[in-house]
Amino acid sequence: MQTVVVLMALSLGDAFLEHELPAGAVRASPDPDVKRHRDRQLAEQVERILATGRDAVVDAPSHSARRAVMLVAADRGARVVGYWARPPKVGMPGLLDLQPEYSQLTRRPRRADGFDLLFEVVNPDREYQLREL
């Protein structure tokens, strides 16, 4: 079964990315210059990746991006695994001025949002731990 990994964090350490992401997965990310229809563009990238038979990894800080990606995953029969890291309080206001969708990371996602598996990443920049939500 194919997997779509949804990352919901400001940053995740190299150890996490190396150990937790499916081998050979392809990363989908929206074009930073595109402001309109960004969620649709991301969902289309995931659709193309899954059509090749590979797993997809998506940075999706906003609820609308997650919904769009999860609909594609459901249509393709792929499972959705989410990793969320609580954003740090330091530096958050400046980032929100540049990327307002990241403010949605302050709300902990729920499995009922459409995840087959959902984890909180504790200490994402160091020796991280996973806690199932």
Query: Domains along the chain?
Result: 3-132 (3.40.50.300)
pLDDT at 97: 57
pLDDT digits (tens, 9 = 90+) for 94-116: 555 555 566 677 788 999 999 99
* Mean pLDDT score across all residues of the chain: 87
pLDDT at 14: 83
Torsion-angle region of residue 114: left (phi > 0), alpha (psi -120 to 50) or beta?
left
Mean pLDDT score, 52-76: 94
Mean pLDDT score, 34-54: 91
Taking alpha carbons only, the member of 35, 11, 34, 26 closest to residue 58 is 26
pLDDT at 102: 63
Mean pLDDT score, 8-36: 85
Please tell me which residue, 74 or 31, carries the higher pLDDT value: 74
Residue 50, pLDDT above cutoff 80: yes
Lowest mean pLDDT, pick from 23-27, 41-45, 125-129: 125-129
For the whole prediction, is pTM greater than 0.85? Answer: yes
